[in-house]
Chains A and B, each alone.
Chain A
Amino acid sequence: GEDVEQSLFLSVREGDSSVINCTYTDSSSTYLYWYKQEPGAGLQLLTYIFSNMDMKQDQRLTVLLNKKDKHLSLRIADTQTGDSAIYFCAETPQDSSYKLIFGSGTRLLVRP
């Protein structure tokens, strides 16, 4: 079955890099996503990567995809206190154009 797993918590110091990791089981995933949820708000799409890509960079964000190990990571450079939030990894299975399978979320705490 489809499953997405993430560690629950990460704490970093302001200015350091953060790396949030995710593993998934569906080797036929088409797209993989990172969503950010701030307190009291809905989920905001941060970035996504198509399954035939290894890396995608967007300003301070770098997404790495290792299809062999079914591992996805999100690196945030120069982490700021405003980056404190819950980050969700999600995937779209190949047999579905609408379905999103979410991980349980990683809470990122940025210490001043």
Chain B
Amino acid sequence: DADVTQTPRNRITKTGKRIMLECSQTKGHDRMYWYRQDPGLGLRLIYYSFDVKDINKGEISDGYSVSRQAQAKFSLSLESAIPNQTALYFCATSSAATYEQYFGPGTRLTVT
């Protein structure tokens, strides 16, 4: 089984709808991250969490919110989706002991 899973893998939604993307991990890592990937661009950090009570904004957090329900679960919400939030979204995890981040398979989100 994959160490980092994301649901759904693909989602099409309409402008103005609320949508939640979920991430779960079995690696036992404290740190979790949400990134966004746009065509021709690298990944950009939306939010990160060092533990259940420590959540921080990344470089592009406007229009997004997150919830760390447990050490293993970190969800990303779009309160009112807009078309320029159409992108590939990745969850990642890491331990505090190393710099390596482990990525989920991604969620392709289309906002029409």
A: residues with CB less than 8 A from B are 4, 8, 30-31, 35, 40-45, 48, 88, 90, 92, 97-105
Q: How far is the CB of A91 from chain B (nearest CB, A)?
A: 10
**Does residue B64 face the partner (Cβ distance < 8 Å to A)?**
no
B: residues with CB less than 8 A from A are 4, 31, 33, 40-45, 48, 50, 90, 92, 94, 96, 99-106
A-B contact list, 22 entries, CB within 8 Å: A4-B42, A30-B99, A35-B103, A42-B4, A42-B90, A42-B103, A42-B104, A43-B43, A43-B90, A43-B92, A43-B103, A45-B100, A45-B101, A45-B102, A48-B99, A88-B43, A97-B99, A98-B33, A98-B50, A99-B45, A100-B45, A104-B41
A-B CB proximity, top 5 nearest: A102-B42, A42-B103, A43-B103, A42-B105, A102-B43
